[in-house]
Structures are given as structure tokens and as C-alpha cells.
Amino acid sequence: MHEIAPRQRSSVLRLFGYGLASICLVWLLHDFHVVRALHDMANADWRWVLLGIGFDVLSYGVQALRWKLLLTPFGKVRLRSAVRAVYAGLFANLVFPLRPGEFLRSYLISDSEDISLGRVLVSVGVERLVDLVIATASLAVVSLFVEDRMPRRFKHVADTLGIVTLIVLAVVVLLILYLELRLGRKPELEESDPGTERLSLRERTMAVLLGLHAMGTAPSFYPAVLTSLLMPFCQILALWAMMRSYGLGLSFLSAAVVLLVINLGVSLPNAPANVGSYQFFCVLGLSIFQVEKTTATGFSIFAFLALTLPFVFLGFAALVRSGLSFRSLREKVTGRPQRAANVRAQP
């Protein structure tokens, strides 16, 4: 029974992701004018397209640099290893559902840089927390400039996200302060690996918190946060350049709003490469600025292809350089988590 449960949960999430993608695609392609969209795509300015692709590729190089800084308390990570792992993880997200690339890139760094997998996974969690804080702050700032064009429902979502982010951030800060005090009283307290299977739940939780404390109090954490600001900036520039290439007369701040809507949408369980959901939430974001549906749908397909295809080649190259084949990739992103879950379920 214990071995079946994780598989059932994975199947449910996979079905939900494919179902969501199918619903999104049906809605998008309903009353979609194909000929008009193809005409718009043919008239795109490829100079802006290449600029957008360049900024998007650069954004993930920035992510690798941030990851290297976050992992500094646990070891010296080579930047090229971090870049290779990030691109290989992106490739896994393109070919498999439910975004298994986060686990794959963590495994690759753990294997190549001799850092425990548990600590690397904690660093990925810190990345997501920092991204959430930056996204919420950006949404609040941008909404001040485009408030008159935002639907009331969108404002409610932004307010709710802001409250949730503040609560999560407060809890994390309090935990770090608690551990700071506890470590000060008990210097003999050692840091364990949260990925160790023999640890109890309490020991594993404490190991995760200690890893969080190590990263949050390290001098390298502050440049990592500053680097985090550059990553969404590059992605906004990439989307804005794509808008310029397609002839959409929207501002940089408008591109920031659309990107935030897309990122919130694709955080749900999705099909491989976020097919369907990316286009749906892109159209939803563009509708805030009264972009007509056929134009918005055509742009969402065009931008998706232009910003995704380069990572198919870059990610595959990174995968080959890491020594993994497509078959071993499948085993890592599907078999290894399952085996780990089965080991933990054993008495």
C-alpha cells in the first residue's frame, strides 16, 4: 500500500497537468484566426526576436550564478557545473510533465560538486522563496503604475499573494533567528544531511532548518539576493523584446505584469514545457491591456516557440556534457524519487 500511494499521487498530478493543458488549448484555439496569426508571425522583426532570446538565455545563466552563491556555505561550486545543471534541468522540464528538472539539476550538482543532495534541495527551496518575494514586490510596484487597467479580480489575487508571502517570509526569518539563538547556546549541535534516509522526521526537519540557517546567515546570501533581481529583469526584457518584434505597443511595465501572470499560472502542475498553460496565461495577462484574443493567442504561440526552442538544444547539450543519456535521464527523474519514497516508506 505504501509503495502504491506515491505512484497514485504522481498519476493524479500528471492527469491534472494534461487536463489543464487540454482545457487551455481548447479555449485558445476556439475562434482562433490561423491565417491572420501566421501573417503576424511572418511580419515579426527578427532582430528583436534574437535580442529576446539572448536575454532569456542570460537569465538562466544568472540563475546558475545565484545558485552557486547560495551553495557557498556547503562547498565551492564551479559556475560551469551550475550552468550545465540548470540547462539540463530545463531540458527535463521540456520533455517530462510536473517539472522534474528541479530534482535533476540538484542531483547533477550533488554528484559533480560532492555536496549532499539534501542540502542542494534546500538551496532550491530558498531560490523559490526568494523568487516569490521578488515576484510579489514587483507585482505591488507595477500595479501602482498600471492600476487603472487592472481588473479588480487581479488586484485581489495580488493582495492575497502579498499577504501569503509576508507570512511565509516572517516564519522563515523567525526560524533563522530561533536557530541563531539555539546555535549560540549549543555550539556542539552538528548539521546533518536532510537527504539521509535513516534520520527521523524531527532530525530531517532540523537538518533542513540548519541548512536554511547556513545559507541565510552566510555573507554570500546578500549577493545572491542581488543577483536574484537581475534574473526577472532579463526575463522581462526578453518578453518585452518579443512584444516589440510582434508589433505589440506595450511598455516594459506591461511586459512585467504579463510575465508575472505567466509565472503564477505555470506554477501549477503542467504538461511538458508548460504547453497550453503558458499560452493561456500569456493571453490572460495581455487581456489586462485590451489586446485582442487572436492577436494575443498568436503572440503567445510565437513567443513560446522562440523562447523555448533554444533551450531544447542548449539543454540537450548540457545533458550530454553531464554524462547522462535520455534513458538515464528518465530513470533519474522518475525512478530515483520513487525509489527514495519506497525506502522511506519501509518500516
Residue 28 amino acid letter: L
Q: Cα separations (Å) of 125 from 67, 128, 226?
A: 11, 5, 17
Can you list the alpha helix ranges (DSSP code H) found in the chain? Answer: 4-29, 34-42, 46-70, 79-95, 101-113, 117-145, 152-185, 201-217, 221-246, 252-265, 277-287, 293-321, 326-330, 336-345
pLDDT of 299 reads 95
Cβ-count burial 151-176 (b if 16+ within 10 Å, e if not)? eeebeeebeebeeebeeeeeebeeeb
Q: Taking the domains of the chain in order of start, what are their residue ranges? A: 4-345
CA-CA distance, 232 to 255, in Å (whole number)? 11
For 22, residues 6+ apart whose C-beta sits below 8 A from its C-beta are: 276
C-beta of residue 85 within 8 angstroms of C-beta of residue 322: yes
Q: Which amino acid is at 173?
A: V
CA 300 to chain centre: 19
Which residue stretches of the chain have pLDDT < 50?
Answer: 1-4, 185-190, 336-347
Q: Tell me the per-residue pLDDT of 121-142, one tens digit each, with 9 for 90 and over.
A: 888 888 888 888 888 777 777 6
The grid coordinates of residue 81 equal 557545473
How far apart (Å, rounded) are the C-alpha atoms in residues 324 and 111? 12
pLDDT for 91 equals 92
Structure pTM?
0.81
Residue 320 has a pLDDT of: 87
For 51, the 3-state DSSP assignment is: helix
Q: Are 312 and 88 in contact (CB under 8 A)?
A: no
| Angle ∠(76,108,165) on CA atoms, nearest 5 | 80
Dihedral over Cα of 175, 218, 337, 334: its sign = positive
CB 270 within 8 A of CB 88: no
pLDDT of residue 135: 80
Burial of 199 (0-12, 13-18, 19+ CB in 10 A): middle
Neighbours of 89 (CB within 10 A): 28
Whole-angstrom Cα distance, residue 259 to residue 25? 19
Name the one residue in this structure whose C-alpha cell is 536532510: 194
User: How many CA within 13 A on the CB side of residue 34?
Assistant: 2
**According to the model, what pLDDT value does residue 191 have?**
54
What CA–CA distance (Å, rounded) separates 254 from 242? 13
Q: Which of 234, 196, 204, 304 minimizes the C-alpha distance to 66?
A: 234
Q: Which residues contact 181 (CB under 8 A, 6 or more apart)?
A: none
At residue 50, the pLDDT reads 97
The confidence score (pLDDT) of residue 196 equals 57
C-alpha span between 52 and 42 (Å, rounded): 17
Note whether 336 and 195 are within 8 A (CB): no
Locate 229 and state its grid cell: 533581481
